[in-house]
Amino acid sequence: MTTCTPRAAWGNLLRRLHFYVGLFVGPFIFFAALTGTLYVATPQLENALYRHALHTVTVGEPQPLAKQIAVAENAVGAELRLHAVRPGLIDGETTRVMFADPALGPSENRAIFVDPVSLEVRGDMTVYGTSGILPLRQTIDYLHTSLMLGDVGRLYSELAASWMWVAALGGIALWFYTRPKRRINNRFQNRRRVHVILGWTLLSGMLLFSVTGLTWSQWAGGNVDKLRAEMNWLTPQVSTRLSGAPTSMDEHAEHHGHHSGMMMAGMGIDLAQFDSVLHAARNAGIDANKLEIRPPKMADQAWTVTEIDRRWPTQVDAVAVDPHSMQVLDRTRFDDFPLMAKLTRWGVDFHMGILFGLINQLLLIAFGIALCVLIIWGYRMWWMRRPARSAADPVQTLCQSWLALSAWGRGATIVVSVLLGLALPVMGISLALFILLDWLRWRAASSVSLAGSSAR
């Protein structure tokens, strides 16, 4: 076994780990960066593409929400549960009436876009999530998060988010360990210098996107939620429980059909309550122009009115309204959120390109393009320095680099690896695959070396 100094041993280990992450995870990070850039670059294109549904030129006094919702129900032509309404409170904007359609996927709703003044139906399409994105960006979002493969495809984005912070911090650490004492001008060092500059420039962004990406992930996200709950970092939610109300509603209510007049399909709620609930929320200080009103799913629940303007300054206050007395039962104010809940909200909104509007978009587009260049540049550097021989030198393996560490160094890396594997399961499994592949490579290279020694 070749001996080396502790510094050189750690440098070799960092180099091999950085190589494996770049070689095997780099393509996934590249695709996530590319599709994420497309996502944040297309809001204006989506607004133009669906302009007829989103906007109207009709001028006049808006009709009551009850009438707008009734028009949307007639347009649906089926007994779908009314999920939420986003009133068009700004001149020229349509009202979005969203229905829960069993034929759609999770977090998807069928939306009917209604002119608040003329009651013309302007659009009928699927919208997604709290952000309410439309089909164009929904497709890009599915590419970004799951390769359009559902839950199985989500493993790709979790893999990228799990390793990006390791690649970023490992690259910086590797630079400290291996930077030349004096400036060297050759093709490889010049390309390495560009790679390092990009790495330092993008470091904070890679850490932020890795953390916020993990909060959305399938496996690590559950652990993040548990941590946030234990640390009291969860986003406060309004309580919708009605005191003294029955614990359940008619189990056959959804099969009763349309009620006469302004009654909501299958729920027995007067549609005029939408106007009353909105009025109560306005009186309670819900003053944003982007709102979502949700009727209760059960008879023992209150209505909720939530601000959904997540630009700066953030407006996400919410109230729960008693449908009988029209009194506000509970409320949450963003100003009263715990600091970590605020940081989470801002981090997610920045990740989506929402927080600072156009400035946020442009910054993320530049970041995404630069990250793609950084990855391509890394592959170019590897290609320039790739081994000329087909047989690998055992010293160039992760296993040999790990064995060269001191006893405490080997123990520390095992403990850290196990803890990270438990917290980030996709990282743990992929790390095990890296080690297995490296061990097989090491054994093969060692066998070649032994055979060569025997022949001599």
Contact between residue 316 and residue 307 where contact means Cβ atoms under 8 Å apart: yes
Please tell me the distance from the alpha carbon of residue 262 to that of residue 271, in angstroms, as a whole number: 5
- 21 — pLDDT class (breaks 50, 70, 90): very high
Q: Is pLDDT at 243 greater than 80 in this prediction?
A: no
Tokens 């592949």: give the residue.
Answer: 437
The chain-wide mean pLDDT, for the chain, equals: 88
The residue among 108, 63, 123, 114 whose CA lies nearest residue 85 is: 114
Contact between residue 242 and residue 329 where contact means Cβ atoms under 8 Å apart: yes
Quick one: pLDDT at residue 440?
87
Phi, psi of 240 (to 5 degrees): -105, 10
**Domains in the chain, ordered, with CATH?**
6-40+148-226+357-455 (no CATH), 58-132 (3.10.450), 242-351 (3.10.450)
* pLDDT per residue as tens digits for the range 142-183: 999 999 998 899 999 999 999 999 999 999 999 988 877 777
The residue type of 74 is N
Contact between residue 168 and residue 206 where contact means Cβ atoms under 8 Å apart: yes
The answer to which of 195-209, 318-332, 390-404, 410-424 has the lowest mean pLDDT is: 390-404
Quick one: pLDDT at residue 5?
80
Tokens 């995870």: give the residue.
Answer: 25
- 272 — pLDDT class (breaks 50, 70, 90): very high
Please tell me the distance from the alpha carbon of residue 313 to that of residue 218, in angstroms, as a whole number: 30
- 263 — pLDDT class (breaks 50, 70, 90): very low
Quick one: pLDDT at residue 186?
80
Average pLDDT score over residue span 189-199: 90
* pLDDT per residue as tens digits for the range 352-377: 999 999 999 999 999 999 999 999 99
Distances (CA, A) of 287 to 106, 123, 131, 283, 294: 30, 27, 19, 9, 17
**Better pLDDT: 234 or 281:** 281
Please tell me the distance from the alpha carbon of residue 31 to that of residue 156, in angstroms, as a whole number: 10
The answer to which of 114-118, 135-139, 256-260, 313-317 has the lowest mean pLDDT is: 256-260
- 44 — pLDDT class (breaks 50, 70, 90): very high
- 249 — pLDDT class (breaks 50, 70, 90): very low
